[in-house]
Chains A and B, each alone.
Chain A
Amino acid sequence: MENIDIQILDTPLSIDKSYDFVVHKGCGGICLFVGTVRNHNKGETVTHLDFESYKPMAIKELSKIAKACSDYHKAERISIHHRVGHVGLKEKAVIIAVSTPHRTAAFEACQYIIDTLKETVPIWKKEHLEDGSFWVNARP
C-alpha cells in the first residue's frame, strides 16, 4: 500500500527515512516513537539485545495493525521499521511514524501501533546480561 511502509531490517534504522515517508501536505501532526535498547531490565544489567522475527508473518501482522490504525485514527501515512539481529545499547530497535491532519490522532495512533505490535507481532528479543542471556517473556 502506498501510504504504509513496513520494513524489517538488519541494518541501523533511520529517523529521517521514517519521517520523510509520512510527511504529507494534508497533515499537520506527525508523531514518532523510537524504541531503543536500555542498559537495565528488572534490576539486571543488559549488555545488548538480539531480535529474531518470523518475517513474512511479522509483516502481515504489522500490515493489519497499520490498516486498523489508518481506518480508525484516519492516519494519512504510517511507517513501521523494526530491526533484527544484534542491537546495542542506545541503538534504535523500532521506529514508528504516523501523520494525521491534527495532533490528537497522531499521538493516539502512534501509541496504538507500538502497544499492539508488542502483543501480536511475531518478533522476539533475547536479552544479553553480564552472566547469561534469556528470551524476554519466556524466562523460567
Chain B
Amino acid sequence: MLQLVEQMLGSLPDLLEPGTLGLMSLGVLLGILVGAIPGLTATLAIALLLPFTFRMPPVDALVFLVSIYTGGLYGGAITAITIRIPGAPSNVMTALDGYPMAQQGRAEAALGLATFSSFVGGILGGVALMLVAPQIAQLALRFQSPEICALVILALVAVAGVESSSLVKGLVSTVLGLMLATVGLDPIVGAPRYWLGFSELMGGISLQTLVIGLFAITELLRQSGDPQQRPAGASRLQLRRMFDFWPLFKQVGLRLPVKSAVIGTLIGALPGAGASMAAFLSYSEAKRSSRHPERFGTGIAEGIVAPEAANNAVTGGALIPMLSLGIPGDAVTAVILSALLIQGIFPGPRLFERSGDLIAPLFMAYFVAYALMLFFGLGLVPWLAKLAVVDRAILLPFVGAVAVIAAHVTQGNSFGVWLTVGSGAAGYVLSRLGFPLVPVLLGLILGPILETNLRRSLLISEGSPLIFVQRPISLVLLVVAVAFAVYFARRAKAPTDSPGWGGATAQAGESAAAGEGGGLSR
C-alpha cells in the first residue's frame, strides 16, 4: 500500500502537466455538461467520445474517460436542483430536497452542498478503490477456470436482475449478448460461427458497434419519441453565493456523507447495481435515521448530502470489480472496460502485475478529477446551469451525426456503420419492450470469458459438470448466483429503465419530472 501511494505521488507531476491537466479538465467539464442535460448520461458521453481515445496513450485515454465519469455523475444534480428535472436517474433523490431549497431562494447553497458532497463521496470511494482493488486482484489470482466461470455467471445474473423489473427479461438480454459474442471465430479451435456469409463478421461483433449502437443510437431514438417538457428556466444564480453551502454542511457534519459514501461504494461494487440505487438507499437510510424524518422533502441539507455523496462514491466502487476482476460494476464501467480492451489493456487479476504502471496514475488521476470537479462545480455552475437547458431539436441531430461518424471512424467501413445503426434500432425495440440493454453489452464482453473457461473446466473434469460444485469457491459463487436469481424472481419492483423516471420517484412518493428523461441509467 505504501508503495502504491508513493507511485501515485510520483505520477502527480505528469498529471499536472498542462496537456494532461487540460485533458482531464475537458473530460470533467464535458461530463458535468452531459450529465446535467436531462436524458443524456455519462455512458452516452463516453460512448461518443471513445474514438477520441484511440490515438491517446493508454494512461491519457483512461484518465480522460474517468474524468468524464466523475463529472457525469455530479452533473445531473444541477438541473435536478434548478429546474426539478434530474439530469440522470441517479439524481432523482437530489431533486426531492434540492428543488425545494432552490425555491426558497437558496439554489446556490443547494448546488454547493451537492458539489461538496459529491466531492466527499467520490474521494472516499477512491480510497476504497485504492485499498480494496489490489487485494481482490490478489485473491482472484487463485481463481481457476471453474471459479472464473462461476463468477461470470454470478455477475450476469446480478446484472440481469438489477437492470430490469423482470428477471426473465434481464436474462433474455443477457443471453442475447452472449449469443452475439459467439459470432466470429470460436475462441478455442478457431472455427467460424454465425458469420452469415459476411467476411466482416469473421472477426466478431466489435464492442464499439454495440456501445455506440445501444448507448447513442438507441438513446437518440428514445429521446426523439419523448414529448419534451419546456423547463421553466433556471433561476439566476450568483457566483458569489456559491459558498453559502458551507454553514449547512458543517451543521450536517461528516457522519452522514461518510455513511452515504460507504453505501455508495458497496453498491457500486456490486455488478449491475449503480448510482441510482445507491442514491435511493442512502436517502432512505438518512431519512430513517434522522431525528426529523418529516422534514425530508422540504428542502433540508441532509436530503441533498446523502444521495450526492452516495452516487459519487459509486465511481470508486464500480471501478473495483472492473479493474480487479474484469467485471464491470455498472453501465459506465462496462463502456470504460470496452475502451480498455480496445487499447489492448485487459482488466482483471493480472492487470496489477502486467500493467502496474497504469494503476498508480489512474488512481491519482481519479483524485485529481474529483478536485477538478469541485473547482468547476463551485466556479462554473451558474453558466453550466444555463447550458444544460438545451432544446432537443438542437441536441439530437448533433448526437445522431456524431454517433454515425464515430461508428465510421471506429469501424472503418460502411458495413460496420450499418451494423451499429441496426444494433441501435434493435436496442430501441428491445428497450420499448422492457428488455434492459446493459446485460446485452455485458454478455458480449463476458461471453468469450465464460465460454473459454466453461470448456476448459469440462476438459479438466473430462466432461463432468460436478467440477463446479466440487470446488468450494465455485460452489459458493454459484449458490450466491442462485440465491440472487430466486430473490429477483420473487421481488416485484418498479421498472428502472422504462422511459421517464416515474418508477424511481414513485417509490419516494413524488413525481420529479413527468415525461422527461428515459436515458439509460447512470
Q: Do A and B come from one complex?
A: no
